[in-house]
Amino acid sequence: MSGEAAADAIEVVLATHNAHKVAEFQRILGARMPRLHVLGYDGPSPVEDGTSFAANALIKARAAAAHTGRISLADDSGIAVDVMGGAPGIFSARWAGHAAGDEANLRLLLAQLADVRRPDRGAAFHCTIAVVVPAELAGGEAREFVAEGLWRGALAYEPRGSHGFGYDPIFEPEGHEVTAAELRPEQKNAISHRARAFEALIPELQRLVAGVE
């Protein structure tokens, strides 16, 4: 980013070290707020000891805001399987263990559901996005806002598709016969749990950004 575009840019930090998430947030937010530029986070990862998506999102956003002094965003997302009582839920990213990756998490969940047939494979992606404006930008007292989105669907029996990440290859959204990983990125970004959370977040984010410019 350079020149006049750089001068007009509004930079916010996304509290993640995941480059896929940074790119996805930039696509979704950039389509609605063209001046917004989402930066990755290079600070320490806080302990996510909250017991809800909202609590963990706020923990991460507050840590990024404190470390960078910038308006910071964070999301806590996961998949909740009906027959498992909402698990993996907030443990989605480490379902197969703290050192496990997306593939191991996905394979473990499929194995746990091996004997479960339709229509009992219902699930939903949850997304909570928190935005924190640090006190120094907010006139002396930090400002916070939380938005939530839900994307219903069902779990496939095997992974399909090469787009997306996490549990996308086994999640079939309601009204679709393909997985989230088979949707084109622009399709997914228009209807996903994050897109739905952003619909609630955008008006507040615009107001918060305008308040610090």
CA distance 1 to 120: 48
Closest CA to 70 of 134, 5, 27: 134
Structure confidence at residue 208 (pLDDT) = 81
pLDDT of residue 32: 82
The number of C-alpha atoms within 13 Å of 31 and in the hemisphere containing its C-beta is 13
**What is the helix (H) or strand (E) element at residue 201, kind and residue range?**
helix 193-212
Domain ranges within the chain, ordered by starting residue:
3-212
Look at residue 79 and tell me whether its pLDDT is greater than 50.
Answer: yes
Residues designated as active site: 76
- pLDDT for position 97: 94
CATH number at 3-212: 3.90.950.10
Q: Which of 145, 151, 97, 108 shows the shortest CA–CA distance to 127?
A: 151
Return the structure tokens found at 41: 């986070």
Among 156-160, 182-186, 202-206, the range scoring the smallest mean pLDDT is 202-206
* Residues 202 and 145 sit within 8 Å (Cβ to Cβ): no
pLDDT of the residue at 195: 86
- Percent of the chain exceeding pLDDT 70 equals 96
* Whether pLDDT at 105 is above 70: yes
pTM score: 0.85
How far does Cα 57 stand from its chain's mean position?
A: 9
Tokens at 90, concatenated? 């907030």
What is the 3-state secondary structure of 115-133?
CCCCCCCEEEEEEEEEEEE
pLDDT greater than 80 at residue 3: no
